[in-house]
A and B are shown apart, each in its own frame.
Chain A
């Protein structure tokens, strides 16, 4: 039966109940019935609601419940919330309770609440729970409030946990710090270089906006150009394209110097893009010199030269123009 007909049938049943004398008699208030009492939100009540709601097929309803818990977190009793978080073992519920604790911390109702979440992200025996608690800290100030947690998470035994931590570093830099906070960028670079998982390192570096990166992190990034993984070399080349003005000279030299010895086509493409981003129109002479190194890369370099000579001054627009040219030809 279609869902709307089921709804109508249920509504019909409700109408019948309301109009039938027996039902009416039952619904008449009597002296024996308890009076309605106002109740404050309880941790247990919210958890029951969440447990039921997480099974709902409606994403909007699940999002609503998440929002309710995060907003209610400020006024929930701290002790009960911590105890519930410590007891819970189901990853989906752990994530919600962790998010509530993080919300208390972010709203400054209990600044240290996030430490309990960080501890569990590092120490819980279940990798799914560790991953869930890491997700709960996404798009928050966890990066600057949890010491070396992210560097340690990079060495976690579970690939899922490492990747969730990488996503946090990327999204925190992008949305919480809007790429304007050098220490947050540096922390992401440090974590990426501390990782022994090339996939994770590449994931962080290829998405990182490095416009406020500090000189020490810049040196580490230059070092990643010599990494054995082509994915890491490619993402490091892309990341170096956006470095602050003071670091542009060494970055350009490194990228141009590396191009001649690099054998991987994907890395070479990234090197050319990095050089283009560092110099805009001023990069054209350097790109022309590189054109003869590998004839197979000549069309790519020509496309960049055409784009850079268009006079567009915004990197996003240059990238878009480059994509357009690639799609036309």
Chain B
């Protein structure tokens, strides 16, 4: 009986132990004015698990990192030059921030510009809207993932396919 009580107490105390991992909550704004063209599923029914935003204009000025916080951004340029309709899987230009809890936020497909370099900033520009990597048209793909799985909860309830967004529009919240 005493052991049972101890175990129950221990279980309660485990719940009371604060998490060691850092807690954060960052609002994500649209990187440029456009329309949400895909979220959890493509029209075909295939899983996508990210937010695609397109203005329909290739090389459109100023893709911003979107997250409302000062973060260090790692910008990887895999393709130079203006590409609007895809350059092949794995060749997308990318800006990402890896959080200490193992989650990573990424922006893909932008066109390299003079702003495409690593730095710490709050919603800074990292390129122009484009179609580098696996893309069929100019857009930005915003993805929040952990251990190889795309998370969908961060944008669910904040945006849907077809929504018109500008730079002040909340697309999701990272936690």
Contact = CB atoms under 8 A, between A and B. Distances in A.
Interface of A: 103, 106-108, 139-141, 144-145, 174-181, 184, 209, 316, 319-320, 323-324, 327-328
A124 B29 CA distance: 37
Contacts of B69: 139, 175-176
A177 B98 CA distance: 8
Given A141-B120, A141-B121, A324-B17, A178 B98 contact: yes
19 contacts: A106-B121, A108-B124, A108-B125, A140-B70, A140-B122, A141-B70, A141-B121, A144-B120, A145-B120, A175-B22, A175-B24, A175-B69, A178-B71, A184-B72, A320-B20, A323-B17, A327-B9, A327-B10, A328-B6
B9 A320 contact: no
Contact of B72 (A108, A178, A316, A320): A178
A108 B119 CA distance: 11
B20 A316 contact: yes
Contacts, number: 70
Interface of B: 6, 9-10, 13-14, 17, 19-22, 24, 69-72, 97-100, 119-125
A180 B122 contact: no
Nearest to A140: B70
B100 A103 contact: no
Is chain A's binding surface mostly helix, strand, loop or mixed?
A: helix
A320 B21 CA distance: 11
Contact of B122 (A103, A179, A327): A103
A63 to B, nearest CB: 13
Contacts of A184: 72
A209 B123 CA distance: 25
A106 B13 CA distance: 41
A320 B70 CA distance: 30
Which 5 A-B pairs have CB atoms at the shortest separation, nearest pair first?
Answer: A141-B120, A106-B122, A178-B100, A140-B70, A316-B20
Contacts of A328: 6, 9-10, 13
The residue in A174, A178, A323, A327 that gathers the most chain B C-beta atoms within 10 A of its C-beta is: A178
Contacts of B119: 141
Contacts of A108: 121, 124-125
A194 to B, nearest CB: 22
Nearest to A183: B72
B70 A139 contact: yes
Nearest to A145: B120
B121 A181 contact: no
Given A139-B70, A178-B97, A327 B13 contact: yes
Contacts of A209: 100
B72 A107 contact: no
B72 A141 contact: yes
Given A144-B120, A180-B100, A323-B17, 9 more contacts: A106-B121, A108-B125, A140-B122, A141-B121, A175-B69, A178-B72, A180-B98, A319-B20, A320-B17
B70 A174 contact: no
Contacts of A180: 72, 98, 100
A35 to B, nearest CB: 28
Contact of A174 (B9, B10, B22, B120): B22
Contacts of B100: 174, 178-180, 209
A170 B94 CA distance: 28
A324 B125 CA distance: 46
Contact of B99 (A140, A144, A178): A178
